Structure 1
Amino acid sequence: MNTQVKVRLKTTIRQPNEEPEIYELWAPGTFIEKGETAYLKYVEVQEQQDVKTTVKMGDTQALVMRSGGINMRLPFYKDAEQTGSYESEFGMLMVTTNTRKMKYEKNEHDGHFVVQYDLHVNGDPVGEYTLEFHYTEGSQ
């Protein structure tokens, strides 16, 4: 089942001894259910390039994949470390996520997925991230 949705992504990045950085993105997207698995798909524009994003949502396991201007694979497994990749014009970086919290809630016309994790790039800590996805049926 494919449903047109409005996607709101709120990203919070926390660094030691610094104020949190908060970014918000709104985009039209698609909510897809295949069996027990739920996906959000949307396109965002970064530096004049389209970045296609697919989010596989769950309570214990999730995945964020991006392709286009940025190629990224961020896997999440609750209370475990996972290895992914981030590729840009500067080359490929290995990233590690250590997921602290993950929760997916779905209602009849909307849903909410949150994942909180520590991110390491090439073995170095780069901060604690929180991704909050909200989606609502409708295309406006």
Structure 2
Amino acid sequence: MESKKIGQPVRIRLHSSIRHPGQEIETHELQATGRLIEKANTFYLKYDEDHNGENIQTTLKISEQDALIMRSGAVKMRLPFDTEQNRVGEYGNGPATFPLQVKTNHLEFTEESKGGQFKVQYELHTEGSLLGTYKLNITYTEGTK
């Protein structure tokens, strides 16, 4: 296996479900290739995705106690996850950004010899109102094919 410090190529499968208040559950699937980097007991999973012809760079930072999703490009987003306390994140599309309260209900990370899995369940709130309840499951495996 390549050194994870340099950046192990990985295949990524992302499954998300979103429930907005009063609406049916939306589900999304994404498959991508990316890199897994390990530094000081923290893992970074980096990948690009295409959103309606525009590029979004995503970095998932995972440590033992918390995690952070950062997106830049067509969408700007910063979502910190911490099961001990609510955290402030932000979302932007174009020039406007707005703050989000992130309440993490469940956070789990499993690292194996040839891959791993990251699961998080969380709520997003803004100005005291619930925007939605989210479940995100990211699995990655060594290799690019």
TM-score (norm 1): 0.94
Is residue 47 of structure 1 aligned with residue 52 of structure 2?
yes
Tell me, yes or no, if the aligned pair for 2:76 and 2:91 is still in contact at 8 Å: yes
Distance 1:57 1:84 in 2: 16
Query: 1:58 touches 1:103 (CA, 8 Å); kept in 2?
Result: no
1:103 corresponds in structure 2 to: 108
- CA–CA distance in structure 2, aligned partners of residues 111 and 53 of structure 1: 17
Asked if 1 retains the 8 angstrom alpha-carbon contact of 2:121 and 2:136, the reply is yes
TM-score, normalisation: structure 2: 0.91
Question: Share of identical aligned residues, percent?
Answer: 38
What residue ranges of structure 2 are gaps of 5+ in the alignment?
none
Q: CA deviation at 1:17?
A: 4.9
Q: What secondary structure is seen at the aligned counterpart in 1 of 2:79?
A: strand
Are the equivalent residues in 1 in contact too, given 2:10–2:36 (CA < 8 A)? yes
d(CA) in 1 for partners of 2:25, 2:43: 29
Q: In the alignment, which residue of structure 2 is the partner of 1:137? A: 142
Tell me which residue corresponds to 2:133: 128
Equivalences for residues 6-45 of structure 1 within 5 A? 6-45=11-50
- Between 1:87-96 and 1:63-72, the stretch displaced more is 87-96
1:124 offset after TM fit, Å?
2.0
Where 2:31 maps in the other structure, the secondary structure is strand
Give unpaired runs (5+ residues) of structure 1: none
> Alpha carbon RMSD of aligned pairs, Å?
1.4
Distance 1:58 1:102 in 2: 11
- After superposing on structure 2, the runs of 4+ consecutive aligned residues of structure 1 that deviate more than 6 Å are none
